[in-house]
Structure 1
Amino acid sequence: MERLAHIDALRGSAVLLVLLQTLFVPLLGQPWLLQHVLDPGLLGMLWFLLISGFVVPASLRAGHDDAYRFLVRRFLRLFPAYVVATMIVVTMLGPAAGWFAGATATLATPSFEVLEQYGPLPVVLVFYLLCLGLQWSGLLHSVSLRSTVALLLLALALLLALARQLFMLNLPVTLPLVLSLMFFASVWYEAQHEGSSYARRRAREYARHTLRFYGVVLPVIFLAGWAAAPTPGESWPRYVLTYVLGIAGFRLLSSRLPMNSPLLIWLGSISYSLYLLLPALQQLTHRLTTGLGLDGGAAALITATLGMLLALAAAQLCRYLVEQPFILLGKRLTGRRDMQPLARLHSR
């Protein structure tokens, strides 16, 4: 249960960072620290993805988790809540926004930083497909192969960054990069929780080997890719530092510094619904405060606070009325009774 609690708490920390970036950072104007050093929202989304990389391959490799069961559970876990969130987003923001509930920007042109444009959900779905393909081929259990996949995806990100700079192409450079990090997280899981001490040592060696490549290649990816089309007022070191902090923070908080705060665990349990519903609830609170004739700095703070409270309440309601019933249905359809701790974690 300790693993389950501290991973959910880490997911809750990611939720807090996304809430901070979405609702409260805009109230600060344009502080130098957040323009040039750290992106809290990106850090939170990186932790979401690293957690998925941490738990998905391990749960797929468990004896009771074949591909069919995984697909049924994932579909019933993700799709019903997504449909509800899409309906709400369409109502609040219009039809064009509804197809990608939770996305943070326009979908017209591929972005260098895919997480800030599309959000983490499309990346997670691509990762699911890659894991299912590796499981179907019988290779998902191999820690050396997953480490190799992580390095190949890192190399692909580097090639896209160089192509973006040389040919001025709009390429989603960080898509293979974050997928690489997710496969690294799956190796990190074995380094922490594999039953055999030899297997743990072997996984740690692969993890250290992969981290060395990240240390060399990450700055080149962001320097090359970002220099091709920089965003005014921002700098590429901000992205490098955020990714480095994301990797280092994930390693520490998933191993040596586990968190078990009940508040963070609760936030982690509603993270998916909150991620989907936050844009619509933010727009709703803005309309409410505008309708009341509030303006100025106090109105902006009231809007942000009310938006946070409404989003948390709506996410809890969606979790209780939509997510949990379909999660239970997925368990019944796949015949699962006594789940192992990791499987319980991934069904949350």
Structure 2
Amino acid sequence: MIAAAAPRLTFLPRLESVRGLAAVSIVWYHVVPQFIETYVTGMAPVVLFFVLSGFVLARSLQNDPAPLRFFRHRVFRLLPAAAAAVLLLTVLHATIGFYVGYLTSFDPLNVVLNALMIRSDINGVMWSMTVECFATPLIFWSALTCTRGQVTPLWILVAILFGLSFVGPYIHLLGGFTNLSPLYAFTVGVLLHHRGASFAAKLGPRAAAILTLAAFALFLFCALRKQNSILIMLECTSASILIMMLAFSDRIRPFRILDAPIVRFYGRISYSFYLLHPIGIAVAFRILDTNSLPVGAAIAATGLTAIAVTTAIAWPSWRFIEKPFVALGKRFDGRRADAVRPLAAQPEQALS
């Protein structure tokens, strides 16, 4: 008797919406310090991205655990849009001297290394993509270990990586702007997928609401502070609770905002938006004269303009780069299925 196949896990649109809100929030993190002296950075949304990646990729691996397809899909998902952003900045620099952050080398080798997400000095925010690429084998191993029911080794790994987050050479191991402090967040996301449902099921409506509110308050508190290893751990914890409640509980009414079409839209374009928002911010500062405005109005005008500019270039990137390449990656699966199908249709011949 053949065991029934496990049901495929479905897409969770609210998680995509959260990613969109986090991507938009980073614009404000990068605009505000230009007007107000602050130690606040955009680390908190990045930590949320990492937990979310671990969670979503664990779901994907539960549907299809084949390692070759997993890594191929990662390449087709991450690389084309990132490479396009680097090439766009390279062209802008060559034609009009445009750059973001600080001026770095645009020699061919450095452009290639940035396009491959090995380095991130041309587009500084891509440091998180360098870390995510570095973490891809870790995510795969964590998901495989969880699938085998071996959760304790992963908690030990999380504890070790958290301990290492206090060690400077480890934090900056990959060089440049990269920061390995929240590396364990990917494994936490995997654990959340495999163990979060059972925990959420034990909560009553009131307890779920209180826990969600407390997690949001903690995340916001940490996000508005100068970052250190303890705060990053608390951000990881609170982000994990929020993602758990989003994924496994539909009783939290404020989450309905994530179903709004505009929020869903930014969720869809969030990856390209994140990659391209430094360009939007740089353009906003070039086209606006905020010297005569009060600080609050200057921040609002610059942030909204940056979001508008980024949206205008992120949507084409999503529509004409991200979507086609994701589809191309999946076509390899279809070709393999087509190659196998004739044999499946003739079982006696296949077994002979």
1:10 aligns with 2:18: yes
8 Å contact kept, 2:55–2:193: yes
Q: CA RMSD in A?
A: 3.9
Match of 2:28 among 14, 17, 20: 20
Answer whether contact 1:157 1:176 (CA < 8 A) is retained.
no
What is the alpha-carbon distance in structure 2 between the residues aligned to residue 124 and residue 78 of structure 1? 10
What secondary structure sits across from 2:105 in the alignment?
helix
**CA–CA distance in 2 between the matches of 1:86 and 1:260?**
32
Aligned to 1:251: 244
Shift of residue 316 of structure 1? 0.7
CA contact under 8 A between 2:29 and 2:41: conserved in structure 1? yes
Q: How many angstroms does 1:302 deviate by?
A: 3.3
Match of 1:148 in 2: 153
Three-state SS of the structure 1 residue aligned to 2:59 is helix
**2:193 pairs with one of 180, 189, 193:** 189
CA distance in 2, matches of 1:182, 1:304: 30
**Which residue matches 2:5?**
none
Q: 1:100 to 1:21 in 2, by over 3 A?
A: farther
* Structure 1 match to 2:72: 72
Give distance in 2, aligned partners of 1:48 and 1:246. 9
* Partner AA of 2:312 in structure 1: A
What letter corresponds to residue 242 of structure 2 in structure 1?
G
Shift of 1:131: 3.4
Q: Which residue of 2 aligns with 1:214?
A: none
Distance 1:150 1:85, change over 3 A: farther
1:160-182: CA deviation from partner (whole Å, max 9, x where unpaired): 52x55xxxx57449966523222
Identity of aligned residues (%): 21
Q: Is structure 2 residue 276 aligned with structure 1 residue 277?
A: yes
1:157/1:177 contact within 8 Å kept: yes
Is residue 24–residue 307 contact of structure 2 (8 Å, CA) maintained in 1?
Answer: no
Distance change in 2, residues 1:186/1:302 (3 Å) = same
User: Whose radius of gyration is greater, 1 or 2?
Assistant: 2
Letter of the structure 1 residue corresponding to residue 270 of structure 2? S
Letter in 2 for 1:275: Y
Contact 1:151–1:180, Cα closer than 8 Å, also in 2: no
* Kept after mapping to 2: 8 A contact 1:191/1:201: yes
Offset at residue 310 of structure 1 (A): 0.7
Q: Shift of the alpha carbon at 1:253?
A: 3.3
Q: CA 1:181 to 1:336, structure 2 compared with 1: closer, same or farther past 3 Å?
A: farther
Judging changes above 3 Å, is the alpha-carbon distance between structure 1 residues 95 and 80 closer, same or farther for their aligned structure 2 residues?
Answer: farther
> Could you tell me whether the CA contact under 8 Å between 1:19 and 1:308 is conserved in 2?
yes
What is the aligned counterpart of 1:131 among 123, 139, 159? 139
Aligned to 1:96: 105
Bigger relative CO (Cα 8 Å, ≥ 6 apart): 1
Under a length normalisation based on structure 1, what TM-score does the superposition of the two structures give?
A: 0.65
After TM superposition, give the deviation of residue 28 of structure 1 in Å.
Answer: 5.9
Do the aligned residues in 2 keep the contact of 1:72 with 1:330 (CA within 8 Å)? yes
Structure 2 unaligned runs (5+)?
1-8, 93-97, 203-224, 338-352
After superposition, the Cα gap between the structure-2 partners of 1:334 and 1:89, relative to the gap in structure 1 and judged at 3 Å, is same
Distance 2:41 2:260 in 1: 20
Superimposed CA distance per residue, residues 223-245 of structure 1 (whole angstroms, 9 cap, x where no aligned partner): xxxxxxxxxx9474755654444
Evaluate the alpha carbon distance shift between residue 129 and residue 253 of structure 1 in structure 2; reply closer, same or farther with a 3 A threshold: same
TM-score by length of 2: 0.64
Give the Cα–Cα distance (whole angstroms) in 1 for the partners of residues 171 and 125 of structure 2.
13
The unaligned stretches of length 5 or more in structure 1 are 108-115, 194-199, 205-232, 339-348
Deviation (angstroms), 1:271 = 1.0
Q: Deviations over 1:307-342 (max 9, x none)?
A: 11010111111111111111111121221899xxxx
Taking the aligned partners of 2:246 and 2:311, their CA distance within structure 1 comes to 24
Counterpart of 2:291?
295
